[in-house]
Every structure is written in C-alpha cells, then in structure tokens.
Amino acid sequence: MPNKNIKILLVEDDSFLLNMYADKFQSENFEVFTADSGDRALKIAQDKIPDIILLDIMLPKKDGFEVLRELQKEASTKAIPVILLTNLSQREEVKKGLELGAKDFLIKAHFMPNEVVEKVKSVLGE
C-alpha cells in the first residue's frame, strides 16, 4: 500500500468530524495523529513532523491562522503542506489562510471523507 508511512495530523475541535476523518485515513493506511486545539496541534506537529496537516480554522485557544503562522516560523514544520478545513461562509478566512501558506482548502459540508482522502493524496502527489 503506498500510504503506509504517510503521517497526517488532523486538527478539528468537533469530535464527531475528527473521529470520522481519523477512521477514514486509518482505513487508507495513513498514520494518524489528532488534535482538538491549536496548542495541541503545534505540539504534535513539532514532535511527529507529519507529512500533511488538515487544519480547521475555528479552534479553541489558538485558531488555525495562529497555528499556520507558528508552523511557518519553525524550520522543522514550515515545509509541511497544510489543507484548511472551513465552513461555507469563510471565504475571507480561506484567502487569508492561503496567503499565510496553506496549500489548499476544503469546505467541510461539501466533501465526503473519501473525497478528503483523495484531496490529501493529490496535494502529496500520491
């Protein structure tokens, strides 16, 4: 399986969505790390150096933008591709996120978990 060693960090404060995405990526043989806050996301990103990060914008404590900024500052994490998870009404936020270095974005309501996996694979060039 080509995804055996791909590490993904899923950052989402909605536990239902977080578990749904985690289950889907695990079934595709990704190594999955999860975080439900920006603080935890940064710690895991620095400890595990994932291959890609799915990052919700609206998070407790540090939001997705703060996480993106901090990832970009660190040599060890600045090259990690980030895909933003957004809600439909967040057009301005998406623009800001892309300017801060995110590679792409997904509107949560529009994507089924298998489509999210396909998007991640395409960003990784799989």
Chain segment 84-101, per-residue pLDDT in tens: 998 867 778 888 999 999
- 43: pLDDT strictly greater than 90: yes
Which helix or strand (DSSP H or E) is residue 98 part of?
A: helix 91-99
Domain that holds residue 76: 7-124
Query: What's the CATH code of the domain at 15?
Result: 3.40.50.2300
In a domain, 19, yes or no: yes
pLDDT-derived band at 83, boundaries 50, 70, 90? very high
For position 68, what pLDDT does the model report?
A: 95
Tell whether the torsion through CA atoms of 83, 88, 94 and 95 is positive or negative: positive
Amino acid code (one letter) for 58: M
User: Parallel, antiparallel, or unpaired: how do β-strands 52-56 and 82-86 relate?
Assistant: parallel
Cα–Cα distance measured from residue 93 to residue 57, given in angstroms and rounded to the nearest whole number: 8
CB contact at 8 A, 72 and 55:
no
In a domain, 73, yes or no: yes
For position 88, what pLDDT does the model report?
A: 67
